[in-house]
Structures are given as structure tokens and as C-alpha cells.
């Protein structure tokens, strides 16, 4: 189905859709009667974000932020850059940061600290994928779609050098592509 750059499908679009529904239902229940701002971390979480927000009922606002700890390739530089800030203030609001994947945890630790300094009511993390074995700093997702092994994945918004974000499934990238 995909070309030779893709080794195999790890999480199919049907599995993703079912899990996103569950996450949306859980968030709806947890925030009943409470307004919440869902923050999309660009660019990787954009596809998950669009699916997730439509599975949440209630008083929801959306906003976007962009930071990166990755240069080209598959290993983190460890340095996080804020490339785009939120459009609205978040003081006193419930925030859910929506992420594509937690890997070392460095990006979200930075982001959480940045947001907490603005004194929101709460900050939680929702990620579609989690690679707990790769963690360099202690960080847990509050809502996690799938825990995966230490493999480089693309698709459903995740990229390798900006490619493959448009694949509907989460796929393992062939090691021939990045020489891992
Ligand atoms: P962390 O700061 O190491 O947790 O990195 C988080 C970011 O690294 C994610 O938002 C992704 O953009 C990127 N990343 C980590 N692992 C992968 C992967 O397997 N495929 C694609 N991007 C990844």
C-alpha cells in the first residue's frame, strides 16, 4: 500500500479513530461544566487535534502554539525554540495541550513550564502516541492514545524531514531512510 520507505503500519486509521473517540469521551466527562482551551502543538498534532476536538462536547476553545526541539533527522537537539505563541491569554483557564508524541519529554516539559507561568487554572497533556522508554526527563501524559516501542514513526501528522504527515495510518519508517 505504501512505498518502500514505509516498513509497516503500526496503528491503523481505524484503531486511531476508535481511540480518539474514547479520549474525546473521557475529556468530555472530566471537564463537564468547565470551559477548556485545547492547545494544538504545531505541526505534528494538527491532524490528531482536528479529530479530537470534534469528539469533545462542551465549552471548548482552540489555540495553537509551535515549538521545536528537532532539527533535521530523528534525534532531539535538546534545545527548544518557541516559534509561535498562543493567540489568547490563558490566565485562569483549563488548558489541555494536544501533542502528537511524547519522546524524550523535553518539548512538553518546556511547554508546560511556559504555560504554567501564565497562571492557568490547570494544564493537562493529551498525546496520541507515547514512547515511555525514550524519556530523558520525568513527564507523564494525562491522556495517552497508544504507548509504542522505540521506533521512529510517521503519518497521522508525524513527519520525517517534513514528509509523510499525510499518511492516514501511523507507520514505522524504514531504517534505510534514516540509517538507524
Ligand atoms: P520530545 O521533546 O523528545 O518529547 O519530542 C517531541 C517531538 O519530537 C514530537 O512532538 C515530534 O515532533 C518529535 N518526534 C519524536 N519521536 C518521533 C517519531 O517517532 N516520529 C516523528 N516525530 C517524532
CA 11–ligand 1 middle distance (angstroms): 16
130 is catalytic: no
Provide the pLDDT confidence category of residue 79 given band limits of 50, 70 and 90.
confident
28, 58 contact by CB (below 8 A)? yes
> What confidence tens digit (pLDDT) does each residue in 109-130 have?
999 999 999 999 999 999 999 9
**Mean pLDDT rounded to a whole number for the chain:** 94
> In the chain, what percentage of residues exceed pLDDT 90?
89
CB of 106 sitting under 6 A from ligand 1: yes
Place of cell 513550564: 113
Question: What is the best residue among 10, 45, 67, 100 to mutate for testing ligand 1's pocket, by most ligand atoms within 8 Å of CB?
Answer: 100
Lowest mean pLDDT among 71-75, 115-119, 129-133, 134-138: 71-75
How would you list the strands of the sheet with 122-130, edge to edge? 76-84, 60-70, 36-42, 94-102, 122-130, 143-147
pLDDT at 178 over 90: no
pLDDT of the residue at 76: 61
CB of 100 sitting under 6 A from ligand 1: yes
CB of 105 sitting under 6 A from ligand 1: yes
C-beta atoms surrounding 51 within 10 Å? 19
Q: Atom 22 of ligand 1 has which residue's CA nearest to it?
A: 158
Amino acid at each position: 500500500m505504501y512505498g518502500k520507505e514505509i516498513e509497516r503500519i503500526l496503528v491503523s486509521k481505524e484503531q486511531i479513530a476508535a481511540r480518539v473517540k474514547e479520549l474525546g469521551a473521557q475529556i468530555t466527562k472530566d471537564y463537564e461544566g468547565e470551559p477548556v482551551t485545547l492547545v494544538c502543538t504545531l505541526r505534528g498534532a494538527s491532524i490528531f487535534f482536528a479529530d479530537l476536538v470534534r469528539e469533545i462536547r462542551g465549552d471548548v476553545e482552540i489555540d495553537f502554539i509551535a515549538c521545536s526541539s528537532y532539527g533535521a533527522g530523528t534525534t532531539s537537539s535538546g534545545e527548544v525554540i518557541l516559534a509561535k505563541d498562543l493567540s489568547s491569554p490563558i490566565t485562569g483557564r483549563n488548558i489541555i495541550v494536544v501533542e502528537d508524541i511524547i519522546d524524550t519529554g523535553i518539548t512538553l516539559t518546556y511547554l508546560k513550564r511556559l504555560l504554567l507561568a501564565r497562571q492557568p487554572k490547570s494544564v493537562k497533556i493529551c498525546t496520541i502516541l507515547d514512547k515511555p522508554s525514550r524519556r530523558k526527563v520525568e513527564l507523564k501524559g494525562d491522556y495517552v492514545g497508544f504507548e509504542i516501542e522505540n521506533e521512529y514513526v510517521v503519518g497521522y501528522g508525524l513527519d520525517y524531514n517534513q514528509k509523510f504527515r499525510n499518511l492516514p495510518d501511523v507507520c514505522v519508517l524504514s531504517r534505510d531512510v534514516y540509517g538507524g
